Structure 1
Amino acid sequence: MTELPDTIRELAAELVGILGERGVSTELRAREKASADGSYLSPIITEQLPLGLADIVAFPTTAQQIAETVAAAVRHGVGITPRGKGTGNYGQAIPLENGLVLDLSKARGVVDVGDGHLTALAGTPIVTIEQAAHEAGQQILMYPSTAQSSIGGFLSGGSGGTGSIAHGSNHQGFVLALDVVHAVPDATLVHVEGDDAQPYVHTYGTAGIIAQATIALEPLQEWRGLFASFDDFGTAISVLREIGRLEPTPRLVSADLPVLANALPADPGIPKDRSSLRAIIDVAAVAAASELIEQAGGRVEDVRDGAQTAMKLSMISYNHPIEWLQKSDPGKYFHIEVAGDALVDRIDEVHAVYPGGMLHIEAQKDRPIGMLAGIYSSAQEVYEGFAKLAAIGVGVHNPHVWFVDHEVERTLALSESTDPAGLLNPGKLQGKRPAAVSA
């Protein structure tokens, strides 16, 4: 094995003093594990992403240790790639320029629950946060489809999920305050609230690393999981928008072609060879949703309660259906994020853009969104399809990028003071000079 540079060995010695022997690793297996995420599921990313290998991995367990670890890395001029639970699919947690991977998954715990708010360490799993909110008679506004992911990872790399029908994205009223760490030699926890906290959301830690977060809560609702099926996909999506507009607002409404039902493990609520519609819906709206489904010729297969039902439905929403297809046929499928009423009104044209085209669709209050899958041949063919989709009124976002594409200019401006040496998640903020040292 190649011997580590002096800079890394010196940093490791300092970090052992901060985190203890078990809080630091330069072992190859730990470095390899910390240098990969779910991006292997994207054939586009697999072809294009410049891979890196961590030189050292740190596992802080408190917010203060996060600050002390960052400060030490900055003093040694080592780039810092923050990492939650590594569930992201697009390489934002891969250390492109080696250096330190700051694994925050052990910095977990709910610090405080109050009326309308909850504070937790960055590595706290979303399911733990939701449970703590429930015990206080409240619920979080939204959570990602990978509900086992951490709150810091969701805020740094995610954008929305279960609950977004009512509340939009996680930079729209979800975050009340953050404790962040800037890349300076004497780094400490910096508390930011309200509008001042938003520039750290969905920017992959390039302007500051989230150590602790305070998020909004709302009164707990009684949710049900509704499972329905239809003879064809067009009929399923014909009622999806209407169910999404019911009051109280559903937490989730998803639909897809029979190909997904056939790829999923057997479940009587998702019968094979039928288009599936699934919803997390307030108990008061179940009757209205059932009536809409039956009037359209669909069948209500089941109505279930319990947190496990909501978790199951979340895990087959947003990009997860595409992952099921990719796992059943590795390397065959790609997907892009799409939006607009044309997903319903012109679905046959949407499907025709890519060979094997098939849409997974999510209801939203303003316009439906979805993940359009196709059979992968080349990145060029994928990109050429963007214009074809735009021509029929479909909004397109290319998710297969590992660099910041949200409020880039704002992030660059902020990072000039919060990361003057370019050490935070090097390679993820285009226009930012590289880290001072790539070990």
Structure 2
Amino acid sequence: MSTSSVAPEAVSALHQELVELLGERNVSADQRIRERASVDEATMSPIISEQLPLGLADLVAWPTDAEQIAAVVSAAYRHGVPLTPRGKGTGNYGQGIPMHGGLVLDTSRARAIVEVGDGSITTESGATMIAMEQAAAEAGQQVWMYPSTAQSTIGGFLSGGSGGTGSITHGSNWMGFVTALDVALPAEEPTLLHVEGEEAQTFVHTYGTAGVIARATVRLEPAQDWRSLYASFPDFEPAQAVLRSLRGLDPAPRLVSADTRDITAKLPADPGIPTDACSLRAILDASTLAEATSLIAAGGGTVLDVREGIQQAVKVSMLSYNHPIYWLKRNTPEVTYFHVEVGGEALIDRIEEVHAVYPGGMLHLEAAHLFPIGMLAAPYTGAEDVYAGYPKLQELGVRVHSPHQWYVDHDIDKVLELKARTDPRGLLNPGKLGAPDDAVLGNSTASAQPARQPVGQPVGQPVGQPVGQPVGHVNDQAAQAASEGLMA
């Protein structure tokens, strides 16, 4: 466990100032509260679990608006106390742990929805994604994307997330989703830096190491009439083939997920989820439902249920990305499982070889922006065995991102340059930027997604495809990405 090196007198002085600023109820030094604020979903990784506990906060603060967030960051700066920002802590594997002690700044009480405009929504960083989706729906719109845990905060999603429901069309959350941010910076006086466009993207997926997102403006689009579809398949290969076909529907699905029989058996009981077959779930535009049903039937599948409404779509979302692995682990307590984030058409085209990389391997699959991504799970036999599989997967043409580490994992040089300007004392989420030489990261960014979209590249235009060239069918995009070396 990393021990706090913060001087007790600095913590005490900060505590007193924060009580004056926020009130007694919004600051705590209670041991149990500090322990709860010092954990995230790191237990999803058996490799990280073996290293826990990794840190313990000295204080926890809950500012209730963007200005208070800036004031808390400033106070921590003046007292020289490290600060780890936090939303709900969902989906983070160590990134939300205060490894140097100090202050945990919990943004979840700063949840105001400031404005719903035409094509955008502005909220404070603690607003939940489901609240934003509901507010957008009241205005006849929808958010571009939200993570698999729709109860996550927008600040947490932008700081530590990557994609989710809506990513088939819009890619990762650093690919144009954000239009503006107000970022709290460590300074003598409370400072909110307003950034827009490309400058705003540089703060996305940086784990709060260069600034604390206090307020965000993200894109909306006209609301669509969505249907949540559940289907079963006797085998995984036809389910994968149909997932690939559904990616190409027009309008595109908001989400398509598929699981092997073994993973499906561990999902929560539901009439739409088979107990002895493979599961496919999708959020589809109502106008494509008939075509999707035909594709499923032609692939040997059976539609088990179709449901309407935002809450039903959220339920399907809660069975995507790493959630099926959570259920696999929870409902198989006698086995310790690990998973690796993977991506590429090889997940479909070479599935038997992919499964064979790890004994007992099983894949959760997602249709994504340029090519499928997924979570490859298997029984855990040791960290070295996990790492030994990475080059084998890469040889198959599979992108690999390791969830068994907590370091900022892309645009490192840009983030280091940014942090040198915004946090020269290194107080913001220390220990998460600059992986040591022996850290095993894989060969891809979060969720095995593509890297950031270059400046000037239209959102949705495949990286490496000349600007102005028509965007083809999503499978053509994936093929081009693979041929141009984006699998590495």
TM-score bucket of the superposed structures, by smaller chain: over 0.9
Q: CA deviation at 1:49?
A: 5.6
Q: Does 1:239 align with 2:242?
A: yes
Q: Is the 1:40–1:89 Cα contact (8 Å) retained in structure 2?
A: no
Give 1:214's aligned residue.
217
Q: Which amino acid letter does the alignment assign opposite residue 13 of structure 1?
A: Q
In the aligned structure 1, how far is the partner of 2:34 from the partner of 2:345?
Answer: 45
Q: CA deviation at 1:397?
A: 1.1
Give 1:354's aligned residue.
358
Per chain length, whose mean CA-contact separation is higher, i.e. which structure has more relative contact order (CA < 8 Å, sep 6+)?
1
Give 2:428's aligned residue.
424
The partner residue of 2:293 within 290, 294, 317 is: 290
Give 2:404's aligned residue.
400
- Counting only pairs closer than 5 Å after superposition, residues 51-130 of structure 1 correspond to structure 2 as 51-130=54-133
Q: CA deviation at 1:261?
A: 2.5
Give 1:339's aligned residue.
343
Q: CA deviation at 1:89?
A: 3.4
Q: Which amino acid letter does the alignment assign opposite residue 26 of structure 2?
A: G
Give 1:146's aligned residue.
149
Corresponding pairs, count:
431
Deviations 1:68-90 (A, max 9, x none): 11111100000000000111331
Q: CA deviation at 1:185?
A: 1.9
Query: Post-superposition, which runs of at least 4 consecutive aligned residues in structure 1 deviate over 4 A?
Result: none
Tell which deviates more after alignment, 71-80 or 38-47.
38-47
| 1:417 alignment partner, SS class | helix
- Counting only pairs closer than 5 Å after superposition, residues 205-284 of structure 1 correspond to structure 2 as 205-284=208-287
Deviations 1:352-403 (A, max 9, x none): 1101100000112421111100110111111110111111111111122111
The partner residue of 2:376 within 360, 372, 379 is: 372
Residue identity over aligned pairs, in percent, reads 61
Q: CA deviation at 1:59?
A: 0.7
Q: CA deviation at 1:426?
A: 0.8
| 2:85 alignment partner, SS class | strand
Give 1:385's aligned residue.
389
In the aligned structure 1, how far is the partner of 2:224 from the partner of 2:10?
Answer: 53
In the aligned structure 1, how far is the partner of 2:396 from the partner of 2:91?
Answer: 30
TM-score (norm 2): 0.86
Deviations 1:63-114 (A, max 9, x none): 1111111111100000000000111331111000000000111111100001
Q: Which runs of 5+ in 1 are unaligned?
A: 433-439
Give 2:184's aligned residue.
181
In the aligned structure 1, how far is the partner of 2:29 from the partner of 2:53?
Answer: 21
Q: CA deviation at 1:329?
A: 2.4
CA RMSD of superposed structures (Å)? 1.5
Q: CA deviation at 1:36?
A: 0.7
Q: Which amino acid letter does the alignment assign opposite residue 373 of structure 1?
A: A
Q: Is the 2:407–2:435 Cα contact (8 Å) retained in structure 1?
A: no
In the aligned structure 1, how far is the partner of 2:10 from the partner of 2:394?
Answer: 50
Q: Is the 1:50–1:96 Cα contact (8 Å) retained in structure 2?
A: no
Deviations 1:414-439 (A, max 9, x none): 1111001000001111179xxxxxxx
Q: Which amino acid letter does the alignment assign opposite residue 424 of structure 1?
A: L
Q: Is the 1:177–1:194 Cα contact (8 Å) retained in structure 2?
A: yes
Tell which deviates more after alignment, 180-189 or 235-244.
180-189
Q: CA deviation at 1:165?
A: 0.2
Give 1:436's aligned residue.
none
Give 2:169's aligned residue.
166
Tell which deviates more after alignment, 271-280 or 84-93.
84-93
Q: Which amino acid letter does the alignment assign opposite residue 19 of structure 1?
A: L
Q: Is the 2:65–2:112 Cα contact (8 Å) retained in structure 1?
A: no
Deviations 1:17-64 (A, max 9, x none): 110111111111111111011111210111246611100111100111
In the aligned structure 2, how far is the partner of 1:413 from the partner of 1:136?
Answer: 40
Tell which deviates more after alignment, 275-284 or 45-54.
45-54
Give 2:311's aligned residue.
308
| 1:370 alignment partner, SS class | strand
In the aligned structure 1, how far is the partner of 2:292 from the partner of 2:91?
Answer: 33
Q: Is the 2:170–2:369 Cα contact (8 Å) retained in structure 1?
A: no
Q: Is the 1:42–1:89 Cα contact (8 Å) retained in structure 2?
A: no
Give 1:409's aligned residue.
413
Deviations 1:184-223 (A, max 9, x none): 2223111100011011100000000000000000000000
Q: Which runs of 5+ in 2 are unaligned?
A: 437-488
Q: Does 1:133 align with 2:136?
A: yes
Q: Is the 1:182–1:419 Cα contact (8 Å) retained in structure 2?
A: yes
In the aligned structure 2, how far is the partner of 1:316 from the partner of 1:210?
Answer: 28
Q: CA deviation at 1:143?
A: 0.4
Q: CA deviation at 1:152?
A: 0.1
| 1:197 alignment partner, SS class | helix
In the aligned structure 2, how far is the partner of 1:196 from the partner of 1:35?
Answer: 30
In the aligned structure 2, how far is the partner of 1:246 from the partner of 1:52?
Answer: 46
The partner residue of 2:321 within 314, 318, 322 is: 318
Q: Is the 1:4–1:55 Cα contact (8 Å) retained in structure 2?
A: no
Q: CA deviation at 1:239?
A: 1.3
| 2:54 alignment partner, SS class | coil
Q: Aligned in 2, Cα 1:14/1:407: closer, same or farther, shift over 3 Å?
A: same
